[in-house]
Amino acid sequence: MKLATIGVGNAGSKLIDQMIEFEFETGRNLCRHALVINTARTDLAKPQQLDEDRRVLIGDTHQKARGHGVGGDAKIGAEVAQTDIDEIRRVFDDVEIHEVDAVLVAAGLGGGTGSGAAPVVIDELQKMYDEPVYGLGVLPGTYEGGRPALNAARSLQSFVNKVDNFIAFDNDAWRSRGQTIEQGYEEMNEELATRIVTLLAAGEVDESEVGENAMDSSDIMRTLDTGGVSSIGYASTDVTPAKEGLLANFKEVDDSQSESTDAAKIKGLVRRATNSRLTVPCDVSSADRALIVFAGPPDVISRKGVESAREWLEQEADTVDVLAGDDPRPDSSTLAAVVLLSNVTDTPRINEIQDQAVDAQNKIQEQDAVREEEIQSLITDDDNDLDPIV
């Protein structure tokens, strides 16, 4: 698939940056256009893979933002995006939209810029183009607290209503022991970039080499066509390069036996991908459609294995709509299986965030209601005898 990508806010920008880095390292070519948008000048400087003119500062004339961010206030995030929409549109003028299959908008939903501005940007994109617009959103962890949960719950609603599919990533699912903050985000971003790029970059191989088993962009888009929230699973294994390695020799010796071990390996890989940490934990059987991409040397992808893996996933996801295909990468030393579970409806983490958000909203409303009165009573003596100075 060919994408135009937009990162909004801090997390969104870092994710797009990481995706580009990953595709560059692995010789893929997914993000044909990339753009980052932020309200904070300093955050805009972070991405390393983007040119200066691909970074858009919004809200620098807004009284409360002024190039300094929005302080987690999604309302201001949305407001400034609305105000500066012409500027965003202008940068998008360079994009030859017919050269891409879809647009991907990435954002962290717990903050203010991404959660507020991204839905506005998506609205505009949907107006401008017929191509599908996908969302890639980071859900805040439980310990980030009530305000991020509230931002996320609200933003998630807008996202899901506006995009053609929303791929969720749960920060809570990716904690590991002993991480620093820096490592934590770095690891998560790498994991997410690996999954999203491996999935979406499929279908871009040279037409002449394509076998009948190759995944096509239209297959991926069809699977995403469900709308709703999606989750991605991933597993990979080292494979010895076919031409010189053991496997090649082995194959010559006993082709049929090798075929059956390979098949078992393939199915095991898909099973591992599905049962491993998904980008957002979900009940697999609640998926509407599913798709498997095998990325690796074509000669280690056993047809029998692919078919049995596909059948297995049909059972697991409880849907007949399961596509499987290859992303042939002859020079790769790994074989990866990516599983896309489209429109999963049973996602406990999203329910939790919504509950946390309702509590937060109540508390905030309570505080808003008494604020002025409490300040007045703090600075006034009991009988209101004291005069101000001016």
Partner 1 sequence: MKVALLGVGGCGTRLVDQFVRTEHRTGRSVTNGNVLAFHTESQPLSQTTALSTDQHILLGDTHPAVLRRDTNSPATDSPNSSHDPQLQSETSTTTSKQGASSNSRTREYDINEYGVGGDPDVGAQVAKAERPEIRRALDKIDETEVAATMIVAGLGGGTGAGVGSVLLEELTDIYETEVYTLGVLPADTESDQRALTAARGLRTLVPRAASTLLVDNDSWSRDRDAVADCYQSINQMTVDRLLSVFGAGEANTTFESELRIDPADISRTLAVGGVTTVGRATVEIDSNAHGLLARILRLLGRSQPSGSTPVDASKIKTLISRAVQSKLTLPCEITSADRVLLILSGPPDTISRKGFETGRYLLEEETQTVEVLAGDEPIQNTTELTATVVLANVTSVPQIDELQRRAVPTEDAVTTTSGPSTTTEQTATTDEMNTQTVEPSADADSTSAEFDFTNAETASETTDSTEQ
Ligand X SMILES: Nc1nc2c(ncn2[C@@H]2O[C@H](COP(=O)(O)OP(=O)(O)O)[C@@H](O)[C@H]2O)c(=O)[nH]1
Q: Which residue has the tokens 């107006």?
A: 127
Least Å from the CB of residue 213 to ligand X: 33
Tell me if 180 contacts partner 1 by CB under 8 A: yes
Looking at residues 49 to 108 of the shown chain, list those that interact with ligand X (rule: CB under 6 A). 108
Tell me if 328 contacts ligand X by CB under 6 A: no
Neighbours of 268 (CB within 10 A): 16
Q: Are 84 and 53 in contact (CB under 8 A)?
A: no
Binding track, positions 227-266, relative to ligand X; x by CB under 6 A: ----------------------------------------
Q: What torsion, rounded to 10 degrees, do the Cα atoms 263, 266, 270, 271 define?
A: 60
Binding track, positions 18-57, relative to Mg ion; x by CB under 5 A: ----------------------------------------
Residue of 110, 137, 281, 305 interacting with ligand X (CB under 6 A): 110
Q: In this structure, what token pair is assigned to residue 256?
A: 């049929």
Could you tell me the strand order of the sheet in which 322-328 lies? 55-57, 31-38, 3-8, 102-108, 133-139, 165-170, 229-238, 334-342, 289-296, 322-328
Query: Is 345 marked as a binding-site residue?
Result: no
Contacts of residue 143, defined as CB under 8 A and 6 or more positions apart, other chains included, come to none
Please report, in angstroms and rounded to a whole number, the separation of the first and last CA atoms in the chain: 67
Q: In this structure, what token pair is assigned to residue 169?
A: 């990533």
Q: Which is nearer to ligand X, 69 or 305 (CB)?
A: 69
Total site size for Mg ion, rule CB under 5 A: 2
Tell me if 365 contacts partner 1 by CB under 8 A: no
The partner in contact with residue 110, picked from ligand X, Mg ion, partner 1, none with C-beta cut-offs of 5 to 8 angstroms by kind, is ligand X
Tell me if 28 contacts ligand X by CB under 6 A: no
Residue of 158, 171, 223, 274 interacting with ligand X (CB under 6 A): 171
Contacts of residue 383, defined as CB under 8 A and 6 or more positions apart, other chains included, come to none
Query: Is 113 marked as a binding-site residue?
Result: yes
Q: Are 269 and 312 in contact (CB under 8 A)?
A: no
Tell me if 10 contacts Mg ion by CB under 5 A: yes
Binding track, positions 120-159, relative to ligand X; x by CB under 6 A: ------------------x-x---x---x-----------
The DSSP output letter for 241 is -
Query: Is 114 marked as a binding-site residue?
Result: yes
Query: Is 108 marked as a binding-site residue?
Result: no
Query: Is 77 marked as a binding-site residue?
Result: no
The DSSP output letter for 227 is -
Q: Which of 21, 12, 24, 31 is nearest to 99 (CA)?
A: 31
Tell me if 144 contacts partner 1 by CB under 8 A: yes
Contacts of residue 103, defined as CB under 8 A and 6 or more positions apart, other chains included, come to 3, 4, 5, 6, 125, 129, 131, 132, 133, 134
Least Å from the CB of residue 347 to ligand X: 17
Residues that bind partner 1 (CB under 8 A): 10, 39-40, 42-43, 46, 63-66, 68-73, 112, 141-147, 150, 175-187, 359-360, 363-364, 367, 371, 374-383, 385-390
By CB under 5 A, name the binding residues for Mg ion.
Answer: 10, 69
